[in-house]
A and B are shown apart, each in its own frame.
Chain A
Amino acid sequence: MLNRPTQNGFVPDPGRLSGPATLLTITGQTARMHGRFDIADSLHVECEMGGELVVGGQLVIGEKGEVNADVHTVDAIIQGSYAGNLVATGTVEITATGRVTGNIETDSLVISKGGFFNGNVLRTRAQQAGSPAVVDEERLTAAL
């Protein structure tokens, strides 16, 4: 009877158990780091971070996150503040609480209403098509 399966959420979630391993966790009130970070998969930042970031999967800058770094990533979701040069081979999303200053190189950029962006956007696809002079570059400032 003790092994009777429970249906109230106490059964361990198999999806969570088979998920990717947590490589680094920082807890507490504040944290500040500066340097070079090479991350094969994904990263969630809720603290201050500076330097150079290479991410093989998804970078999430949380609402409390403050990232001042040059970033190479696949996908980026920015809910906090970011300053620097961002190169993303996938999609970039600036949410309603996101504040971004700098240059973004990507094919897919979404800025939600309320999101702030000041800087240049460079499309990667255009680079392959022609000379650098024809690069589809636009300056935009979105603050709603």
Chain B
Amino acid sequence: MEYTQTFTDVPRIDARDATPLLSVVGTSARLQGTFEIAEAITIECQVGGELTVGSRLVIGQSGVVTADVRTVDAVIHGHYEGNLIATGNVEIAATGHVMGNIQTDSLVIAKGGFFNGNVASSGAAPAAKAARSIHLLEERRASVAR
């Protein structure tokens, strides 16, 4: 019984966290600067600068992000330009438009999604990677436009 109560407490804490730390409403917004976010952010406006996200970055269809990003997961439905480092998954949706460099182990580009830039896999152990010659680095240039 006590265990059950412990488990039901967890979603309750999550529900409290669901109250946004920051919410911007209206027709337009432009934000420029450094952002350090412990968990998740959803962007439907213009954002520039430097973004550090502890969990999930979502760029909505009307989102325009020009920033260097460090995140775990990223889902891009809008425009993104910059250097993106993701320790988790990166998904460029059908409406997504990405220009720049992506460092990730998992990249999905949906049909219709646009990507122009470099992809670097961070999968190999850093020591093993350093021992290899440059031309063997798991890096490739990709350009997808439909």
Chain A residues with a Cβ under 8 A of chain B: 19-47, 49, 51, 56-57, 64
Return the CB mask of B9-41 against A: 1 if under 8 Å, else 0.
000000001111111111111111111111111
Chain A residues within 8 Å of B41, by CB: 24-27, 31
A24 to B42, CA, bound (A): 6
What chain B residues lie within 8 Å of A56 (beta carbons)? Answer: 26
Listed residue (A35, A46, A51) with the most chain B CB atoms within 10 angstroms of its CB: A35
Contact A20 B26, CB 8 Å, known A26-B20, A26-B40, A28-B39: yes
A44–B23 alpha-carbon span in the complex (Å): 5
B44 CB–A CB distance under 8 Å? yes
Are the C-beta atoms of A33 and B40 separated by less than 8 Å?
A: no
Given A37-B30, A43-B24, A57-B26, is A29 in contact with B17 using a C-beta cutoff of 8 Å?
Answer: yes
A33 close to B36 (CB less than 8 A): yes
Q: Which residues of A contact B29 (CB under 8 A)?
A: 23-24, 37-41
Closest beta carbon of chain A to B19's beta carbon, Å: 7
Do A23 and B21 have beta carbons less than 8 Å apart?
A: no
Dominant secondary structure of chain B at its interface with chain A = strand
CA distance A41 to B34 in the complex (A): 21
- The answer to the question of B93 belonging to the interface, with a C-beta cut-off of 8 Å to chain A, is no
Within the assembled complex, what's the spacing in Å between the Cα atoms of A37 and B49? 11
Known contacts A24-B41, A35-B34; is A30 also within 8 Å of B21 by CB? yes
Q: Are B40 and A32 in contact (CB under 8 A)?
A: no
Partner of B44, one of A22, A26, A46: A22
B26 and A29 within 8 A (CB)? no
Can you report 17 A-B residue pairs in the complex whose CB atoms are below 8 A from each other? A22-B42, A23-B24, A23-B28, A23-B44, A24-B31, A24-B41, A26-B20, A28-B21, A28-B39, A29-B17, A32-B36, A35-B32, A41-B25, A42-B25, A43-B22, A45-B21, A51-B33
